[in-house]
Amino acid sequence: MIVNAELFVKDLPGQLVGSLEPISLLDGNIVEVVHNRERIINHRICINVTFEMEDKEQLCRLKDVWKSKDIIISQLGSVYQTYSMEYMLIGSFDGGMIEDMMKEAGRTISLDATDIRYSSKAGASVNRTAMIAVKTRSEEDLDMLDRFLDQKCRTSGITYVRGV
Amino acid sequence: MKIFVCGFGTVGQGFAEVLHDRGAMLRDMFEEEAAIVGAMDSRSYAYDPSGLDPMALVSRKKESGKVGGSGYSDSAEVLSSCDYDVLVEVSPTDVKTGGVGLKNIRCALGYGKDVITVNKGPLALRYRELVDLADEKGCIMRFEGSVGGAMPIINLCTEDLVGERITSIRGIFNGTCNYILSKMDKGQPFDQALKEAQQLGYAETDPTNDIEGYDSACKVAILANAVFGRDVTFNDVKITGITSITDEAVAMASSRNMVIRLIGEVTDTKLEVGPRLIPKGHPLSISGTLNTAQILTDLAGPVTVSGRGAGRTETASAILSDLMAIMDKRCRSRWAGSSSTIPR
């Protein structure tokens, strides 16, 4: 799940790190941090952090840690579950073709995040490999993307390998 | 229990050896002799209503290349002229037509004989027809060894997990492909890994059925019919083989802590065989020639089984378990009207 939290920490050295460290310790992934030094309320500075968390149980643990560190949680929002899947495409293609394919997918399927990586042997081999990591907000979106990529790859002569 | 064995290659001979080895156990359990009365290979057959020596059949096959002294032109004609209770059909698989195996099974069921088979062709092409025929004739047809060899899966799902709602079965159903992909994990190119599999006897001289996913597709079709109650054939399975998997793709998967495996997948709506990215450490990431399957159930959660997917004795062990199930059922029917207890 992706979570957006607005925190207020004491205006003391080390407080920013002290508020972010528990996220990593609980296997969370920090996506974005805004340290808003101009927004000070009652000698506390505002931190806006967006991060990914495994599940609600982990998020509850994080809230407990923050409270124990005297960090004030003023807002906890934009919380939603994400579903991730990895796909591998093997065949004769260039980066533009795969990016166009994913853009086309994005027009009908809600993709939260897409990360495409290619094998390094672009010129050395006829066949290339692309690894696509995708996050969606529903399993139905993943199913739709699976069907879309499967069909596109079959018509383009590309081998399609998906995760489980 | 009079047994007729059709197909006397590796599996047929393995079954004869296992039956010889476990004969006394069957006698003790069911108070009945389980005897091979007939055996047939592609060119010859042997038949003796009083029973044949299983080890003598194996020796004769090894020495002369033939199981019997009599030749034949039509296997169904031979089967219809012999007296037996159960047909063990282990002739070579033909996924295009069902081959002689389909003809033999139809013939046996038509005459009201029970059938045990590991022949995937007839089941992957004509499952519903054969099951309906067995029902109509009051016969038992069992085929545990047709999927996963010694790995229990069909009877596990239909008997042990009978109260569960099974939502999906995913698994590695071809040891040859798994061996090749495991070798590729260690840096071997596809061609070299295939050659090594052939040298070790894991892959046929013509490996098409394995590496193109056809063998796995047969098993997926059988599971869909037997476990999910679907009415599908081999031709309904969406198949992708492993021939286009490059060493570069395997290395890229490894860099993300994953391996590539050929996975067969069955659900109420899905029927697929194709390469999949599997996280290292996942039950489906196993290496070598083993088969494995993960059965997702509503009450028990995921149930994972693995075992040897092929082999002389291994496949024969699955046939033995089917034979014992048939003997048990026939024994119970016989003793149903009697006041005596069922032998054990």
Can you list the residues of chain A whose pLDDT is less than 50? none
Please report the residues numbered 122 through 161 in chain A whose beta carbons come closer than 8 angstroms to any beta carbon of chain B: 125, 127, 129, 131, 159-161
d(CA B271, CA B340): 48
Size of interface A-B (CB pairs under 8 A): 59
Domain shared by A120 and A140, yes or no = yes
Map residue A148 onto helix, strand or coil: helix
The pLDDT value recorded for residue A123 is: 53
d(CA A89, CA A103): 16
Let me know: does B173 contact B293? Beta carbons within 8 Å. Answer: yes
Tell me if A90 and B170 make a contact (CB, 8 A cut-off).
no
In this predicted structure, which of A144-153, B195-204, B282-291 has the lowest mean pLDDT? B195-204
Which of B2, B120, B183, B219 is labelled catalytic? B219
CATH number of the domain where residue B330 is located: 3.40.50.720
Domain shared by B201 and B261, yes or no = yes
> What is the ipTM, given to two decimal places?
0.81
The pLDDT value recorded for residue B280 is: 95
The pLDDT value recorded for residue B331 is: 85
pLDDT band at B138, cuts 50/70/90?
A: very high
Domain shared by B162 and B138, yes or no = no
Q: What is the average pLDDT across B288-314?
A: 93
Does B219 qualify as catalytic in the annotation? yes
| Confidence (pTM) | 0.82
What's the mean per-residue pLDDT of chain B?
A: 94
Tokens of B106: 């139809």
Among A80, A106, A131, residue at a domain's last position: A80
Task: For B50-94, write each residue's pLDDT tens digit.
Answer: 999 999 999 999 999 999 999 999 999 999 999 999 999 999 999
Q: How many domains does chain A have?
A: 2
Residues 6+ apart with CB under 8 A from A151: none
pLDDT band at B318, cuts 50/70/90?
A: very high
C-alpha gyration radius of chain B? 21
Tell me if A164 and B277 make a contact (CB, 8 A cut-off).
yes
List chain A residues with CB under 8 Å of B275: 159, 161
The pLDDT value recorded for residue B144 is: 96
In a mutational test of the B interface, the residue from A86, A87, A126, A161 whose CB has the highest number of chain B CBs within 10 Å is A161
CATH number of the domain where residue A90 is located: 3.30.70.260
List chain B residues with CB under 8 Å of A121: 248
The pLDDT value recorded for residue B342 is: 55
In the predicted model, is pLDDT for residue B335 greater than 80? no
In the predicted model, is pLDDT for residue B15 greater than 70? yes
Find the largest Cα–Cα distance for chain A.
63
**Is there a domain that residue B32 lies in?**
yes
Domain that holds residue A107: 83-162
Query: Residues B36, B41, B42, CA angle at the centre, nearest 5°?
Result: 160
Among A35, A53, A80, residue at a domain's last position: A80
Among A80, A103, A138, residue at a domain's last position: A80
The pLDDT value recorded for residue A99 is: 93
Tell me if B244 and A91 make a contact (CB, 8 A cut-off).
yes
Domain shared by B301 and B163, yes or no = yes
Sign of the C-alpha dihedral computed for residues B327, B332, B335 and B341 taken in this order: positive
User: CA-nearest residue of chain B to A129?
Assistant: B249
Domain shared by B94 and B184, yes or no = no
Q: What is the average pLDDT across B100-121?
A: 97
